[in-house]
């Protein structure tokens, strides 16, 4: 599902963000990506969604060589993955309903008779059925992150990538969001979650991919936040 083969990323100015990282995340897996700030987690994710291109090595997502995608094929590629961010990245002038429907509209599905049931069911899944006509700034942080997750899921992606999804949330809300991600993974979506949340990682005992100074330092099947 996600394969990195000897991937390095050097930014202009010679800053080495990733150094010869090879990894494979199979279908339906739930993996944590951990490491201190500046370790290269964000670069890792940017390579997966083709926000950056690897300096060397190859990145495959859904069997596609991400680095070799043509510019015009990037939108189509991104529609097969879902991404959730620490700062939610909701469109401020669209309602909850419109934000969640947006990835489908991008696909060319514009008829609300088709959109509405799908928006309703995904909002039901994230536990926010009653906020359809509110705007993002009228919601709490936890609610906004749920809307963002609903948006990342609405088009049925095979992979959900979450970059610090609990970073801006209080512990209780963070737990609720993580429970939601586990539920989504249980339905069959491959999940990669970059996080600093030690408690969550230690409790769940899932695969842990640890990056430090751009290098893969640990990859454990049922790992904890820190090496045992």
User: What residue ranges bind other proteins (CB under 8 A)?
Assistant: 49, 51, 72, 75-79, 83, 89-94, 102-103, 105-108, 110, 135, 151
Q: Between 103 and 223, whose beta carbon lies closer to other proteins?
A: 103
Minimum gap (Å) between residue 10 Cβ and other proteins: 20
Output the smallest distance, CB 220 to other proteins, in A: 30
Output the smallest distance, CB 79 to other proteins, in A.
4
- Tell me how far, at minimum, the Cβ of 105 lies from other proteins, in Å: 7
Nearer to other proteins, 34 or 139 (CB): 139
Q: Pick between residue 73 and residue 221 the one whose CB is nearest to other proteins.
A: 73
Residue located via tokens 């809300």:
173
> 93 vs 198, which CB is nearer to other proteins?
93
Nearest to 11 by CA among 53, 68, 61: 53
């Amino acid at each position: 599902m996600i394969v990195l083969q000897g991937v390095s990323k050097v930014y202009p100015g010679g800053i080495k963000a990733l150094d010869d990282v090879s990894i494979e995340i199979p279908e339906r897996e739930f993996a944590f990506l951990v490491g201190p700030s500046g370790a290269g987690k964000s670069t890792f994710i940017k390579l997966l969604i083709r926000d950056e291109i690897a300096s060397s090595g190859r990145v495959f997502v859904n069997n596609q060589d991400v680095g070799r995608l043509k510019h015009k094929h990037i939108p189509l590629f991104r529609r097969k993955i879902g991404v959730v961010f620490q700062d939610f990245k909701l469109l401020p002038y669209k309602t909850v309903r419109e934000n969640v429907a947006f990835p489908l509209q991008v696909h060319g599905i514009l008829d609300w008779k088709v959109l509405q049931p799908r928006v309703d069911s995904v909002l039901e899944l994230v536990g926010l059925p009653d906020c359809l006509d509110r705007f993002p700034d009228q919601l709490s942080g936890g609610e906004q992150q749920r809307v963002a997750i609903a948006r990342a899921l609405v088009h049925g992606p095979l992979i959900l990538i979450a970059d610090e999804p609990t970073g801006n949330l209080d512990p209780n809300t963070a737990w609720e969001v993580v429970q939601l991600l586990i539920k989504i993974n249980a339905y069959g979506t491959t999940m990669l979650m970059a996080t600093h949340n030690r408690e969550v990682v230690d409790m769940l005992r899932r695969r842990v991919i640890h990056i430090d100074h751009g290098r893969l330092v640990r990859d454990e099947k049922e790992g904890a936040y820190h090496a045992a």
